[in-house]
Amino acid sequence: MDLTIWYMAITYAAELMLLSIGFTLTYLTAKIPNFAHGTYAGFGIYVSYTLSKFYHVNPYLGLPLAFIIGSGVSIVVYKLVISTLTKMGSGSIVLTIATLAIQIFLGAILNIYSYIFIAFFHQYATAFLLKEDDFHIGDVAGIFFVSLIISVIVVIILHYMLTRTRMGIAMRATAEDTELASVLGININSVQLFSWFLTGGLACLAGAMIPFWFQSSPTTGSGIITSIMAGSLLGGLDSVYGAILGGFIIGMSEIMLTLAGQVLFGNWFGEYRPLIPMFFLIAVLLIEPRGLQGFWENYQRRRSKPIPKEPEKKEEAKK
Amino acid sequence: MYTNIALGILSSMPAAIQGIDRLVVDIAMFFGLLVIVAMALNFQYGNAGIPNMGCAVQVIVGAFTVSGIVLRIMFMVAAAGGLPLDDWNDPFKFIYSNPSNVRLVNGLFASDAVLAMGFLLLSLGIAVLMGALTGYLLALPAIRLRATYLMIVLITVADASQIFGRNITGISGGTLGVWIPNVFAWYPGDIGVVTAVVTLLLGLISFFIFRTMLNSPYGRLMRSLRENEVTLASVGKNVVGIRRNILMFASGITAIAGVMNAFYVQFVNQSDYQRAYWTYWPWLMLILGGPGNNAGTFLGAAIVVALRRLIIIYKFQIQQFFFFPVSYLEDIILGGLLVLVMIFRPSGLIPEKLLYIPGINYAKMVKEEVKVDWRAAPKARETHVEKKEEKK
């Protein structure tokens, strides 16, 4: 039995998981869906491209560089636009439109960057694949192991950070109630800055791993945003653990359901691949808008027996 | 706005057709198309606070109505009228026999103006209904939830409609596209001019519809929905129902833009209805002009459309200065301008004015002494009395 499609699906799912975690982290602290999140991944794609095709360095060495560049872009975006707009008192809708504008702007910058190679170095840069730079263990491509290990490490570090460190606890507090957290002495600005730093870095890291298996272009990043949103929404949009699960499920099902559809109905089904995350997105909103997080909370509520409330003694209260 | 309409009407005069200024007609046409979209957007976002990020869906529904439904009805009527049309019922033959069939139908329309205009009205009617239906369906998953959920759903659905159009050949000819008979074939002069004038007229009609609705009690209801929906729900209004109705109505109007675009280009292909073009540019118009008032929308649409058409028409002259395609320059202008306007002019070029309600004199209301039931706030009464005594 050929397991290649499974390896491919798991690689994609691991990358999507990293992206979904970032999307959820932004939503937690800033309360806006960041539509530019997919485009950060585009920067990662071009870090890998530049290293591999221009400097002829193994693109695996560029993963830390991708993290730094992504977090840099994200911090610039936050400082220049999001922070300014928040200080002006703009609502969440205006901020979301601002992220859309940033997505268009950054997407154009990526396209222009790819045209630098075409115009000045006569090197094709708008659709590429970096499979030949990859190593192999047995029959399996190295990116399968690398993406899986990196995503597991990220999840463990994130779990440690959110539960044990001061910054993580501050982030959770900010997510619960921003004003209350600031009353307790948490610097909201630094928490926000840190979360944008982390999301940008993670997105760019995931993006840097995409061209090892999947054909990439400047628009790959902005095209993947539907899957990211579906993964994050399936996880409940305000739970990092939900996003881990949701991103993985969406990534797996996007490839495996397409394959199943192609086997069952014929090859035409492949064209409808982008509809699968949309289907999940709409199904989640119709069935349980809070996603897996909502299901989990309902399940726990049903398991735990309701504690009967004792009637308050009014006389004592009066005294 | 008035200058643009005047230009459109002027250029439709026989004298102007001789030395035709293509650029003016082109700008007027696209101003007419995009101002309909932007006005509907202003109706939804500027006045009711519904962030409709799916304008492209409603426009594409208008275009698909023409190519998928009205085109077949045209063929049926023409075949019943005795024209020797090729078979069009099969998806393959729908594309294959399309050009020759359209040529025959064009000949019919050239001789029968009433029939042609009837088809224009029919397609507008069906498009409005289909647009409203789309609005209803889009509202189903997320209208009850936070506004950001609605944005997420609407943005993704714009891509879905293009995928359906690309793969179901019967809708709009798949990747090849289909030709549309020219409903203005009876017009002896320049057909682009008459299409532009009709589009501008439709824009004017929808402007008056929107203005009337905004000045009516329903308009005040919409503004209160934008300001505070919790208060609105607490006084017994059905917030979800109002929001859905607004979305449906505006979707219907937006579909008109798709119909007119199809008749202007005389061709429908799904790739012409990208999300970037039909959603983001109208949003830029709205934000640039100032959400919440129609004058701002007109100004924003005029500026943005003129800018874009100039870039597109002088593309080859501009291209010399850049090593990348000019379309990315457009993207940079779009994204950058949107952010800059939001930061430096959050209320747009023309800020929203206070609502004018006939019969209510605001100045008088402000001067009047407001009667307060002091029993509810005894402390406030004490301070009030103290202040009065101090004054004496």
Residues of chain B with Cβ-Cβ distance to A116 below 8 Å are: 323-324
Q: What are phi and psi of B231, to 5 degrees?
A: -60, -40
Residues of B in contact with A100 (CB under 8 A): 53, 280, 283, 338
From B214, B196, B189, select the one nearest B24 (Cα to Cα).
B196
Q: Give A204's Cβ-side CA count (13 Å radius).
A: 27
Tell me the pTM.
0.86
Distance CA A291, CA A230 (A): 10
| B167 touches A at CB < 8 Å | yes
Report pLDDT for B8. Answer: 54
As a whole number of angstroms, the distance between CA A145 and CA A139 comes to 12
Residues in chain B with CB shorter than 8 Å from the CB of A33 are: 148, 151-152
Mean residue pLDDT of chain A comes to 88
Q: Do A101 and B339 touch (CB under 8 A)?
A: yes
Contact residues on chain A for B321, CB-CB shorter than 8 A: none
Give the count of Cβ contacts less than 8 A between chain A and B.
Answer: 120
Q: Give me the number of domains chain A comprises.
A: 1
State residue A317's pLDDT score.
Answer: 54
Instruction: Using CB atoms, pick whichever of A97, A100, A281 lies closest to residue B156.
Output: A281
For an interface test with A, the pick among B146, B148, B227 (most A C-beta atoms closer than 10 Å) comes out as B148
ipTM: 0.86
Q: DSSP 3-state assignment of B143?
A: coil
Q: Kindly state the helix (H) or strand (E) to which residue B225 belongs, with its residue range.
A: helix B217-227
Record the tokens describing residue A43, joined without a space.
Answer: 């920067």
pLDDT surpassing 90 at residue A72? yes
Report the residue from A111, A119, A289 with minimal CB separation from B149: A289
- Among chain B residues, the shortest Cα distance to A84 is held by B343
pLDDT in tens, A21-35: 999 998 988 888 899
pLDDT tens column, B186-200: 888 788 888 999 999
pLDDT of residue A20: 93
pLDDT at residue B94 in the model: 87
- Contact B227/A at CB under 8 A: no
Helix H or strand E encompassing B267:
strand B267-268
Output the pLDDT for position B224: 87
* Residue B387 counted as domain residue: no
A134, pLDDT greater than 60: yes
Highest-pLDDT range among A67-76, A303-312, B165-174: A67-76
- Compute chain A's Rg from CA coordinates: 22
Using an 8 Å CB-CB cutoff, list chain A residues near B280.
Answer: 100, 104
Mean pLDDT score, A115-142: 86
Which residues of B are less than 8 Å from A289 in CB distance? 145, 149
Q: Would you state the pLDDT for residue B372?
A: 54
Could you tell me the two tokens for B78?
């023409």
Range of the domain at A122: 4-219
b/e code B333-370 from CB counts within 10 Å (16+ = b): bbbebbbebbeeebebebebeeeeeeeeeeeeeeeeee
Determine contact: A232 vs chain B, CB below 8 A. Answer: no
- Report the gap between the CA of B147 and the closest CA in chain A (Å): 7
pLDDT band at A267 (very low <50, low <70, confident <90, very high): confident
Q: What is the pLDDT of residue B136?
A: 92
**Residue B70: domain span:** 2-361
Residue A250: is its pLDDT beyond 60? Answer: yes
Taking the Cβ of residue A272 and every Cβ of chain B, the question of whether any pair is shorter than 8 Å is answered with: yes
In a domain, B368, yes or no: no
Residues 6+ apart with CB under 8 A from A213: A8, A11, A12, A131, A141, A143
Q: Is B222 helix (H, G, I), strand (E, B) or coil?
A: helix
Give me the pLDDT at residue B214, please.
86
Task: Sort A288 into a burial class: Cβ within 10 Å, 0-12 / 13-18 / 19+.
Answer: middle
Q: What is the C-alpha separation between B93 and A307, in angstroms, rounded?
A: 70
Q: Count of domains in chain B?
A: 1
Dihedral angle of Cα B136, B142, B146, B147, to the nearest 10 degrees: -50
Say if residues A249 and A228 touch (Cβ distance below 8 Å): no
Calpha distance B312→B11 (Å, rounded): 21
Distance CA B253, CA B260 (A): 12
To the nearest 10°, report the CA torsion of A296, A302, A305, A310. 90
Residue A1 has a pLDDT of 63
Exposed/middle/buried for residue B107 (C-beta within 10 Å: 0-12, 13-18, 19+): middle
| Subunit contact A285:B145, Cβ cutoff 8 A | yes
Q: Tell me the shortest Cα–Cα distance from A286 to chain B, in angstroms.
A: 5
pLDDT of amino acid B16 = 43
The answer to the question of residue A268 being in a domain is: no
Which amino acid, one-letter code, is at B125? Answer: G
Contact assessment for residue B54 and residue B139, using Cβ atoms and an 8 Å cutoff? no
In a domain, B377, yes or no: no
Percentages helix, strand, coil for chain B (3-state, rounded to 5) are 75, 0, 25
pLDDT given at position A18: 92
Mean pLDDT over A115-122 rounds to 89
- What average pLDDT score do residues A42-54 get? 91
**Which of the residues in chain B have pLDDT under 70?**
1-20, 354-392
Residues 303-332 (B) with a CB less than 8 A from some CB of A: 323-325, 328-329, 331-332
Q: Which residues of B touch A109 (CB under 8 A)?
A: 332
Task: Return the sign of the alpha-carbon dihedral for residues B305, B310, B313, B318.
Answer: negative
Amino acid found at B228: N
Instruction: Give the angle B273-B329-A109 at the CA atoms, nearest 5°.
Output: 100
How far does the CA of residue B12 sit from the closest CA of chain A (Å)? Answer: 37
- Cβ(B131)–Cβ(B254) below 8 Å: yes
**What confidence score (pLDDT) does residue B14 get?**
42
* Interchain CB contact of B196 with A (< 8 Å): no
Q: What is the pLDDT of residue B18?
A: 40
SS3 of chain A: the string is CCCHHHHHHHHHHHHHHHHHHHHHHHHHHHCCCCCCHHHHHHHHHHHHHHHHHHCCCCHHHHHHHHHHHHHHHHHHHHHHHHHHHHHCCCCHHHHHHHHHHHHHHHHHHHHHHHHHHHHHHCCCCCCECCHHHCCEECCEEHHHHHHHHHHHHHHHHHHHHHHHCHHHHHHHHHHHCHHHHHHCCCCHHHHHHHHHHHHHHHHHHHHHHHHHCCCECCCHHHHCHHHHHHHHHHCCCCCHHHHHHHHHHHHHHHHHHHHHHHHHHCHHHHHHCCHHHHHHHHHHHHHCCCHHHHHHHHHHHHHCCCCCCCCCCHHHHHC
* Neighbour-count burial for A19-40, b at 16+ CB within 10 Å, e otherwise: bbbbbbbbbbbbbbbbbbbbbb
